[in-house]
Structure 1
Amino acid sequence: METQHVFSTAWLTSLNDTANNSDSEDILHQNCRSEWPVSVCEFANICGLISTAIWFVVLFPQIVKNWRRKSVVGLSVLWATANFSASLINVFFVFRIQELPAYVKVSAIYMPTLELSMLTQFWIYGTHYNQKLRWLYLLVCLVCWSLIVVLEVVVGIYKEMEWAAIVLWSIETFPQVILNMQRTSTSGQSTLSVCITLVGKTTDFLSTYLLTRPLQYIIMAYFSSSMAYINGMQVVWYWRNRHITNELPSPVYGGTESRDGGQRYRYFTNDDEAENVASELEIPEDDSVDNNPPVSPSLKIERVLCAIPLRIIFATFISVTLLGYSVGLIWNTQSFIALIAPIGIVAVMLASYVYRKKIMGY
């Protein structure tokens, strides 16, 4: 997910664009490629505006889902932490540039506030975590966030710190994708948030790659968009496992529950997956479970996407899109060295799979 949630590359890039081109033409004709038709530039800038608007709502379905099920099981705290940390860095960068419009500054405050509420849910609902390491993790986070404030406000290296935000936004989805692989389920994620993210990342990528952008934003757009699509593929691929809890220790600070060698099933109740339901049922010998529980709008969307013909179409579309992203990265950087990026993604996911299978034994 990001599913899950984050600023768009176009939004962050617009901070520099607006600051350096305050007297430039209207917003639909900025950063155009001179060799391309004006209509392409207008389309790309519209895509950037769409992706900016999407990030205002992308986290709401996930926050509501967490609140309704009173649980954050299945969500990576590393994902949420990286997301908030990058936004915190960006706040000070935005307010150091006087020429930015008001809506940009509102966004810069709004997004980390929303992301902080998500982290608060991890603290309130994260009772399955090892409590000592939970406090230690909080302490480390507070120290890091304090350091960010000092470096940007006191030392004044807000421009240099922007690179840290770019790195965090590039890698933030990796922990969530790896956690999904470990659990063989995406039950903790809001399908609606994942779908909204896919739309936002698509428009974000088009905006970045059809306009002239700095190299760092091109790389960030590749990683963030590619990982979002891989996350979307997981929602489709693991749909049949939404009933499986597959509770595993947290990759950050341990957990109080672990698998005992067999898969455990829980029924859906009300409108969300009931990870907090007290009873757990061993899978019957005939592998049958209740297939007609009440479902949420998010789950209805998921079932439509995961119908067999649509699953094939969706999987093919994602595969072709990921290939297109890699081709676009090579074209924009004018170097086959850019192949390191997709190879790196494959290597990380393969290493995670091998670690889970060969070392952890599940």
Structure 2
Amino acid sequence: MGSWNSVGMEVAYQVLGWLAFVSWSISFYPQAILNFRRKSVVGLNFDFLVLNMTKHSSYLIYNAGLFFSRDIQRQYHEKYGYEQMIPVAPSDVAFSVHAVALTALTLCQVLIYDRGNQKVSKTCVAITSIVWVSALVCLIVAWPKHSWLWLISVFNTIQVVMTAIKYIPQAFMNFRRKSTVGWSIGNILLDLAGGLLNFAQMAVQSIDQGSWVNFYGNIGKTLLSLEVVVFDLLFIFQHYVLYPIRKEEHNPTNIEEQVDVSAPLMKSTDESNASHSANV
């Protein structure tokens, strides 16, 4: 089995991994806190959340499978060589567990807070359904031959595809509204830091081993970090350059007016009609 050649590199690998875990994990909280402060999820795209849950669930299956299963680890070494190290760290598993939990919490906020006229699109429902039905079919195919490495690689592919898809609804929503109000930039900045730290962690292991198998043996983690960096830079550009938030928009009482102008008008009209009826 592969082992570390340098204690310093091993320490750096663990430190970078846990820093990425902290950065990525904390990145979930600004949005949840923003929703709590506003008692509203207007401006947060629901398709993003549903696709994000599919993505993180798939990534958890991959990370936990490769980290805990001896059979999957054996199949990995048979494919890439017994001198290679398993490319999943404890911090990867911890992040996946935390990500699923926090995404579920945010989905619960959608159920209890004001969501205006927003809803999950039929396209998102269709994509999610196709993904999980396909995963079930792959499980049925893999079971007789115990092709577990192939199966978790399928889930790794799913999380890569979902990562690419999940950001698109929010980016388009920001473009259509010409605003990023209701979408936490703190989430994006921490997400970007996590992606960069993830790249650094993988580079440390590759340098120590003198091999780049770490990158293509866990291509999902490589592509995940790349996608995160690209989309986060897009959101940062939208937030600070294309649609900068004016000072008055920082006031939570004004956010709803910026996000959905029709909602307050409809509410005001209903209250006026109710008041008129009471007077009559």
Q: Same fold (TM over 0.5)?
A: yes
1:24 aligns with 2:8: no
Amino acid at match of 2:36: W
1:273 aligns with 2:255: yes
Change (3 A) 1:88 1:235: same
Change (3 A) 1:65 1:145: farther
Deviations 1:202-233 (A, max 9, x none): 32333345643434344443222121122122
Match for 2:61 among 66, 82, 92? 92
| Contact 1:61/1:192 (8 A) holds in 2 | yes
Deviations 1:263-285 (A, max 9, x none): xxxx8246x834589656xxxxx
1:150 aligns with 2:103: no
Give 1:326's aligned residue: none
1:96 Cα deviation after fit: 3.0
Unpaired segments ≥5 residues, structure 1:
1-20, 30-37, 245-266, 281-362
1:101 Cα deviation after fit: 7.3
Amino acid at match of 1:116: A
Greater relative CO, 1 or 2 (CA 8 Å, sep 6+): 2
Give 1:227's aligned residue: 231
Give 2:28's aligned residue: 59
- Percentage of pairs with the same residue: 17
Distance in 2 between residues matched to 1:171 and 1:137, nearest whole Å: 11
| Contact 2:51/2:128 (8 A) holds in 1 | no
Change (3 A) 1:242 1:279: farther
Give 1:205's aligned residue: 199
Give 2:84's aligned residue: none
TM-score by length of 2: 0.63
Q: How does 1:1-362 map to 2 (within 5 A)?
A: 24-25=3-4, 43=12, 46-97=15-66, 98=69, 105-124=93-112, 125-129=114-118, 134=120, 140=126, 143-144=129-130, 146-147=132-133, 150-151=136-137, 153-156=139-142, 157-208=151-202, 211=206, 212=212, 213-215=214-216, 216=219, 217-237=221-241, 238-241=243-246, 268-269=251-252, 273-275=255-257, 279=264
Structure number having the greater helix percentage: 2
Aligned-partner SS, 1:229: helix
Give 2:147's aligned residue: none
Distance in 1 between residues matched to 2:256 and 2:248, nearest whole Å: 9
Aligned-partner SS, 1:96: helix
TM-score by length of 1: 0.50
Distance in 2 between residues matched to 1:224 and 1:197, nearest whole Å: 7
| Contact 1:94/1:108 (8 A) holds in 2 | yes
How many residues are aligned here?
223
Aligned-partner SS, 1:56: helix
Change (3 A) 1:44 1:94: closer
Distance in 2 between residues matched to 1:107 and 1:136, nearest whole Å: 30
